[in-house]
Amino acid sequence: MSRYRGPKLRITRRLGTLPGLTQKLSKKEGKPGQHGNTDDNNKKITEYCLRLEEKQKLKFNYGLTESQLYRYIKEARRRKGVTGVILLQLLEMRLDSICFSLGFAPTIANARQLINHGHITVNNNVVNISSFQCQLNDIIGVNSKSRSINLIKNNIKNIKLNYQPSHLSFNNSELKGKIMNYCDRNELLLQLNELLVIEYYSRR
């Protein structure tokens, strides 16, 4: 299945706030679809439905395909530690997630576009792969071209989201960020129960 390119507010109305997908808020209330505004209190929500929705949150927020997300699940299982936390750390160490957290782009989708167009560097080398897995002490910067610098400065100026996680340090004058540590689970903007995502894939 290819990456989702449809209406974003439709997804946020169904799943809740997804900061990595869009910062816009829908004027409509209720879930999308024919029965979205019906108030059916007798409708039973199954455990599978809860797990599916949590998985969809992760998938849409980080802009992943189904196969990409499953590969991250398998990698998280392989490593020692709490699988759910390791999964989130792997996703937060993606280059597009780092650029979003540093404020280079208003969404992860926009950060992916900046990377694909060669505006972002890792340790002074241009990297155009958005899924690039960053490491501790990596320096994330901006291409020395004036177009890249102006674009990032404009994004930083216009982004309304005030978010600076403690695992990253940022030098505003040089437009460079450094990865100091792995992300803290409590600092994530996405409201998610990662245990349900692990349970969703437990039979695969």
Closest CA to 135 of 174, 189, 95: 95
Residue 1 lies in a domain: no
Burial (CB count <10 Å: 0-12, 13-18, 19+), residue 108: buried
pLDDT of residue 196: 92
- pLDDT per residue as tens digits for the range 106-148: 989 999 999 999 999 999 999 999 999 999 999 999 999 999 9
Any idea what DSSP says for residue 28? -
Q: What distance in Å separates the CA atoms of residue 89 and residue 132, rounded to the nearest whole number?
A: 14
For residue 127, what is the domain's CATH number? 3.10.290.10
Q: What distance in Å separates the CA atoms of residue 5 and residue 2, rounded to the nearest whole number?
A: 9
Please tell me the total count of domains within the chain: 2
Closest CA to 128 of 139, 138, 117: 117
Choice between 76 and 165, residue whose per-residue pLDDT is larger: 76
85 and 51 both lie in a single domain: yes
Q: Is pLDDT at 7 greater than 80 in this prediction?
A: no
Range of the domain at 120: 94-181
How far is the CA of 185 from the CAs of 26, 86, 104, 115, 163, in angstroms? 27, 10, 21, 25, 14
Q: What is the pTM of this model?
A: 0.86
27 and 54 both lie in a single domain: yes
Choice between 62 and 203, residue whose per-residue pLDDT is larger: 62
Q: Is pLDDT at 101 greater than 80 in this prediction?
A: yes
- pLDDT per residue as tens digits for the range 146-173: 999 999 999 888 876 667 788 999 998 8
Give me the chain's average pLDDT, please: 86
